[in-house]
């Protein structure tokens, strides 16, 4: 009779890896992404503010070193002869000096309507009205610097920063388009993203290490307590029958143990002349002998699929069920007699076997009870055991016939208390 069940400790560590860690990773990744995007926006804003400062420096330099040319440009009086006119050449020289000192690749100047006034870009059309470009419109309409990307013919990339140039009263004078290499902004963005991601990554690492340590300790405690619980359960299981364990598992938490009426073959054995042996030997020898003879009987019963219901002093009450219960019980009895004889123990047993209806259930009080079988069948089996001699098995007629075993021994009749008719038995040695 198998009563095995899964008593593994709760897999806290496995659930931690499968559920908690992925959620933590998702949280940290989200945090890093949001932080990086926020940092990216902040760095972009800072870069545009710096670009506005650079554009202001260019405008101030032009106003200082070429005021007439700068004023003529704003008034759109230079026209197409920038390269040939005196003011045009002076303006170009001043612009070249300013953008070189600030690391600007090239520059365009637009009027408030978006018309090109000046450009260091080869082939640029002076006087052309730019109708495309969201960044330029943002600079003109919102009076805020805006960023765009320019792909060069050689495959390189430049950032186009459109910066509004204001006069002292806050009116728009012109728009500067600064062409700048992307390294500066990319470095800012990269540093910002690393700065934003690093604390989150470190926090995540510390958190995971701390949680792993806590979960590992908790799992170790669970495993230790579960091992102790399994050990205690194994010890308790050895003190009760397999049927009692199965009934407890079937009842579940807070449930009542089941009560059943069924037909079983009852095996009852008793050590012959045990009292005289116990009186003549030391307690240690008595217990040692009793354990040895019980080991033989319990092992044989369990190997045959039977269930030891209880040990009553030097007696054993066992149960067999199923279609071949009678045969198994009788074969077990013969095997027990043989093994005890082979072990040359100082005492032998007598065995009674009877098949009939029993009631299985918990008997006792809420504080202390046994899950056992009761009924006339148990009483008759005990009576047959009393009738059996040393190394003898007494079995009733019905059990003997259903066992289909040969050499049943001598047939006789006995009177059993509570029964009107004598009971036909066989004495099998």
The CATH number given to 12-187 is 3.30.450.20
Confidence of residue 255 (pLDDT cuts 50, 70, 90): low
- Number of helices (H) and strands (E) in the chain: give both, helices first: 12, 13
Is residue 196 within 8 Å of residue 205, measured between CB atoms?
no
> Where do the domains of the chain lie?
12-187, 242-428
Predicted confidence (pLDDT) at residue 13 exceeds the cutoff of 80:
no
**Residue written as tokens 């090239």?**
106
Does the structural domain 242-428 have CATH classification 3.40.50.300?
no
Distance separating alpha carbons of residues 309 and 72, to the nearest angstrom: 116
Distance separating alpha carbons of residues 26 and 21, to the nearest angstrom: 9
Task: Please spell the DSSP secondary structure of 5-48, one letter per residue.
Answer: ---PPP-HHHHIIIIIHHHHHHHHHHHHHHHHHHHHHHHHHHHH
How many C-beta neighbours within 10 Å does residue 373 have?
A: 24
The residue among 382, 402, 403, 404 whose CA lies nearest residue 394 is 382
Q: Are strands 116-119 and 410-414 parallel, antiparallel or unpaired?
A: unpaired
Per-residue pLDDT of 96-137, as tens digits, reads 898 888 889 899 999 999 999 988 888 788 888 887 789 899
φ and ψ of 240, to 5 deg = -130, 170
Does residue 114 sit in helix, strand or coil?
Answer: coil
Across all residues in the chain, what is the average pLDDT?
85
Does residue 201 sit in helix, strand or coil?
Answer: helix
Dig out the tokens for 150 from the structure. 């320019």
**pLDDT higher at 253 or 188:** 188
Q: Are strands 349-364 and 392-396 parallel, antiparallel or unpaired?
A: parallel
Distance separating alpha carbons of residues 262 and 283, to the nearest angstrom: 40
Is residue 14 within 8 Å of residue 20, measured between CB atoms?
no
Distance separating alpha carbons of residues 404 and 54, to the nearest angstrom: 111
Weakest mean pLDDT among 11-25, 58-72, 389-403? 11-25
The proportion of the chain whose per-residue pLDDT surpasses 90, expressed as a percent, equals 40
Per-residue pLDDT of 234-254, as tens digits, reads 666 555 556 656 655 555 555
Per-residue pLDDT of 265-312, as tens digits, reads 999 999 999 999 999 999 999 999 999 999 999 999 999 999 999 999
Distance separating alpha carbons of residues 313 and 158, to the nearest angstrom: 99
Instruction: State residue 83's pLDDT score.
Output: 66
Confidence of residue 76 (pLDDT cuts 50, 70, 90): confident
Distance separating alpha carbons of residues 256 and 274, to the nearest angstrom: 38
Instruction: State residue 2's pLDDT score.
Output: 44
**pLDDT higher at 70 or 333:** 333
Q: Cα angle at 198 between 196 and 201, to 5 degrees? A: 115
Confidence of residue 337 (pLDDT cuts 50, 70, 90): very high
**pLDDT higher at 30 or 81:** 30
């Amino acid at each position: 009779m198998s009563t095995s069940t899964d008593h593994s400790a709760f897999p806290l560590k496995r659930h931690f890896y499968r559920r908690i860690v992925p959620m933590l990773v998702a949280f940290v990744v989200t945090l890093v992404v949001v932080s990086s995007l926020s940092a990216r926006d902040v760095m972009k804003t800072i870069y545009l503010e710096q670009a506005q400062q650079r554009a202001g420096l260019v405008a101030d330099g032009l106003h200082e070193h070429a005021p007439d040319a700068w004023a003529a440009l704003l008034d759109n009086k230079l026209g197409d002869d920038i390269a040939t006119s005196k003011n045009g050449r002076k303006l170009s020289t001043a612009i070249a000096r300013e953008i070189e000192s600030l690391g600007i690749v090239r520059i365009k100047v637009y009027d408030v309507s978006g018309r090109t006034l000046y450009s260091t870009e080869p082939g640029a059309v002076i006087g052309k009205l730019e109708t495309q470009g969201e960044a330029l419109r943002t600079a003109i309409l919102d009076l805020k610097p805006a960023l765009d990307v320019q792909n060069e013919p050689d495959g390189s990339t430049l950032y186009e920063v459109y910066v509004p140039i204001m006069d002292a009263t806050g009116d728009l004078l012109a728009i500067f388009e600064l062409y700048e290499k992307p390294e500066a902004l990319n470095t800012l963005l990269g540093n910002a993203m690393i700065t934003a991601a690093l604390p989150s990554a470190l926090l995540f690492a510390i958190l995971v290490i701390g949680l792993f340590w806590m979960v590992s300790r908790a799992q170790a405690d669970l495993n230790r307590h579960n091992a102790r619980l399994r050990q205690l359960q194994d010890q308790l299981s050895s003190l009760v029958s397999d049927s009692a364990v199965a009934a407890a598992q079937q009842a579940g938490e807070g449930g009542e143990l089941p009560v059943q009426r069924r037909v079983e073959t009852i095996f009852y054995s008793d050590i012959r002349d045990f009292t005289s042996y116990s009186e003549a030997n030391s307690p240690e020898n008595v217990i040692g002998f009793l354990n040895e003879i019980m080991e033989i009987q319990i092992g044989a019963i369990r190997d045959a699929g039977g269930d030891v219901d209880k040990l009553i002093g030097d007696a054993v009450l066992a149960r067999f069920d199923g279609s071949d219960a009678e045969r198994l019980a009788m074969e077990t009895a013969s095997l027990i007699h043989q093994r005890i004889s082979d072990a040359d123990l100082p005492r032998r047993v007598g065995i009674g076997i009877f098949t009939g209806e029993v009631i299985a259930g918990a008997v006792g009080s809420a504080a202390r009870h046994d899950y056992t079988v009761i009924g006339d069948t148990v009483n008759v089996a005990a009576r047959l055991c009393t009738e059996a001699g040393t190394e003898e098995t007494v079995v009733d007629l019905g059990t003997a016939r259903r066992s289909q075993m040969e050499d049943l021994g001598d047939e006789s009749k006995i009177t059993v208390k509570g029964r009107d008719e004598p009971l036909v038995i066989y004495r099998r040695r």
